[in-house]
C-alpha cells in the first residue's frame, strides 16, 4: 500500500482531505496534529508534532518513511507578524526539512497561498508574475516555496486561493467565521474592496488527491473561476440562511487597523489547474447558498 503522510491533517483543509482520501483503500494514511487530536478518521495513524522542533520532525519522517507527503501546515496570518521567529521555523525551516527528506524520489505536495502576491497588480495573477508578498505570512510562505523548488524534485506547489467550506473537525476558516456570527445574529463586517478567486474545499481536496497519483511537477494556482469580493460571498450565505443582508456591514480595507497588511486583489489565473486536471470546482456563490440552506433546514 502507498504510504501517505498528511502534515496538518487536523486543520480545515486537512480534515476535508482526510475524509476524501480515506476512500482510497490503496493508501496507508498517517497524519499529524498540533494541539487537538481529531476524534474521527480512525483508520489514520496520528502523531502530535511541533514543527519548531527540527529534530522531532526529521525522526518522524524517517520513521514513517512515506511515499508521498502532503504538507498543509501553516500559521494564522497575524501570528506570522506577531512572532516572526516561529513563522520562519514552521513555514520555512520545517518546509526545508520536508523538502530535503523528499529529495528526488518521494512525492511532495506543498500547500502555499495566493498571499505570495501583493494584490497591487489590478488584474489576474499569472504564472509569469513575480511574487511580491507584503506580509510576514506571505514572505515566509514564499521562502517555503523556494525551499521546495530547491530540494524536492518530484513536487507540486499548490498556491491556494481563499478556501470556502466547512471543517470536519473543529470550526476554522472564513465560512465558519461567517456562520458563527450569523447564527448569533451578529453584524458581519466584510470588505467590499477586497477580491479573491475563492476555491471550494472539496475541489481543492480533489485536486490534491489527483496530484498524489500524477507525475505533474511545478507551481499550480488553485483558485476558482469567479472573482468575488467578501460582501458578495457573505450575501450568498445569508440568502441561503434566509436572513437579512442588513446584517452585513460593508467596510473598506483602509478602515482596518491590524498587524498584518491585507491585499486588495489576489485574483489568480487558474489555466494550468484547469487544463492539467479536470477538477469540477463548482460555483462559489451557489455553494455558499447551499451551505446556508442546509443550516436553515437544521435550525
Q: pLDDT tens digit string along 266-276?
A: 999 887 665 65
Residue 38 lies in a domain: yes
pLDDT > 90? residue 40: no
Residue indicated by cell numbers 448569533: 184
Contact 262, 155 (CB under 8 A): no
Together in a domain, 88 and 177: no
Q: Are residues 72 and 139 in the same domain?
A: yes
Whichever domain contains 260, its CATH number is 3.90.25.10
CB atoms within 10 A of CB 194: 21
Helix, strand, coil % over all residues of the chain, rounded to 5: 40, 20, 40
Write phi, then psi, for 296 (nearest 5 degrees): -60, -40
Same domain, yes or no, for 124 and 188?
A: no
What pLDDT, on a 0 to 100 scale, did the predictor assign at position 23?
86
Q: Is residue 271 included in any domain, yes or no?
A: no
| List of residues 6+ apart from 79 with CB closer than 8 A | 86, 87
Domain span at 67: 2-163+199-222
Query: Residue 288 to residues 54, 204, 297: CA-CA distances in angstroms?
Result: 40, 16, 14
Q: Has residue 277 got a pLDDT over 70?
A: no
| Average pLDDT score over the chain | 91
| Confidence at residue 52, expressed as pLDDT on a 0 to 100 scale | 83
Query: Looking at the structure, do residues 69 and 147 belong to the same domain, yes or no?
Result: yes
CA separation for the pair 293, 4 (Å, rounded): 35
- Comparing C-alpha atoms, which of 168, 200, 184 is closest to residue 241? 184
Q: What does the pLDDT look like over 196-220, one tens digit per residue? A: 999 999 999 999 999 999 999 999 9
204 and 260 together in one domain: no
Q: So what's the pLDDT on residue 99? A: 98
What is the pTM (predicted TM-score) of this model? 0.94
| Within a domain: 276 | no
Residues 89 and 60 occupy one common structural domain: yes
Looking at the 3D structure of the chain, how many domains does it have?
Answer: 2
Q: What is the C-alpha to C-alpha distance for residues 141 and 124, in angstroms, rounded to an integer?
A: 20
Specify the CATH number for the domain of residue 129. 3.40.50.720
Please give the pLDDT value at position 278: 60
In terms of domains, do 107 and 254 share one? no
Q: What are phi and psi of 201, to 5 degrees?
A: -60, -35
Residue 190 sits in the same domain as residue 177: yes
**What is the band of 86 on the pLDDT scale with cuts at 50, 70, 90?**
very high
219, 155 Cβ separation under 8 angstroms:
no
Pair 218, 231 in one domain: no
Q: Are residues 95 and 189 in the same domain?
A: no
Asked if residue 273 belongs to a domain, the reply is: no
The answer to whether residue 275 sits within a structural domain is no
Mark whether 288 and 183 lie in a shared domain.
Answer: yes
Q: At what angle do helices 174-183 and 230-241 cross, to 10 degrees?
A: 50
Residues 66 and 128 grouped into a single domain: yes
Amino acid at each position: 500500500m502507498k504510504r501517505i503522510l498528511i502534515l496538518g491533517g487536523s486543520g480545515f483543509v486537512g480534515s476535508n482531505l482526510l475524509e476524501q482520501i480515506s476512500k482510497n483503500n490503496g493508501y496507508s494514511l498517517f497524519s499529524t496534529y498540533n494541539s487537538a487530536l481529531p476524534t474521527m478518521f480512525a483508520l489514520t495513524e496520528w502523531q502530535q508534532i511541533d514543527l519548531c522542533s527540527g529534530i522531532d520532525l526529521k525522526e518522524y519522517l524517517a520513521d514513517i518513511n512515506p511515499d508521498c507527503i502532503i504538507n498543509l501546515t501553516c500559521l494564522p496570518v497575524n501570528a506570522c507578524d506577531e512572532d516572526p521567529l516561529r513563522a520562519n521555523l514552521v513555514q520555512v525551516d520545517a518546509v526545508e526539512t520536508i523538502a530535503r527528506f523528499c529529495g528526488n524520489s518521494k512525492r511532495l505536495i506543498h500547500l502555499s497561498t495566493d498571499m505570495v502576491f501583493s494584490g497591487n497588480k489590478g488584474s489576474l495573477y499569472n504564472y509569469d508574475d513575480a511574487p511580491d508578498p507584503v506580509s510576514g505570512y506571505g514572505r515566509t510562505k514564499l521562502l517555503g516555496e523556494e525551499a521546495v523548488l530547491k530540494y524536492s524534485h518530484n513536487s507540486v506547489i499548490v498556491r491556494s486561493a481563499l478556501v470556502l467550506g466547512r471543517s470536519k473537525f473543529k470550526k476554522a476558516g472564513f465560512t465558519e467565521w461567517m456562520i458563527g456570527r450569523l447564527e448569533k445574529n451578529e453584524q458581519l463586517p466584510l470588505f467590499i474592496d477586497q477580491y479573491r478567486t475563492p476555491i471550494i474545499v472539496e475541489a481543492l481536496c480533489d485536486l490534491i488527491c489527483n496530484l498524489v497519483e500524477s507525475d505533474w511537477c511545478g507551481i499550480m494556482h488553485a483558485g476558482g473561476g469567479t472573482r468575488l469580493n467578501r460582501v458578495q460571498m457573505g450575501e450568498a450565505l445569508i440568502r441561503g440562511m434566509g436572513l437579512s443582508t442588513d446584517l452585513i456591514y460593508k467596510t473598506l480595507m483602509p478602515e482596518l487597523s491590524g498587524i498584518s497588511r491585507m491585499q486588495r486583489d489576489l485574483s489568480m489565473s487558474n489555466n494550468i489547474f484547469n487544463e492539467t486536471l479536470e477538477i469540477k470546482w463548482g460555483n462559489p456563490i451557489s455553494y455558499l447558498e447551499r451551505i446556508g440552506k442546509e443550516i436553515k433546514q437544521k435550525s
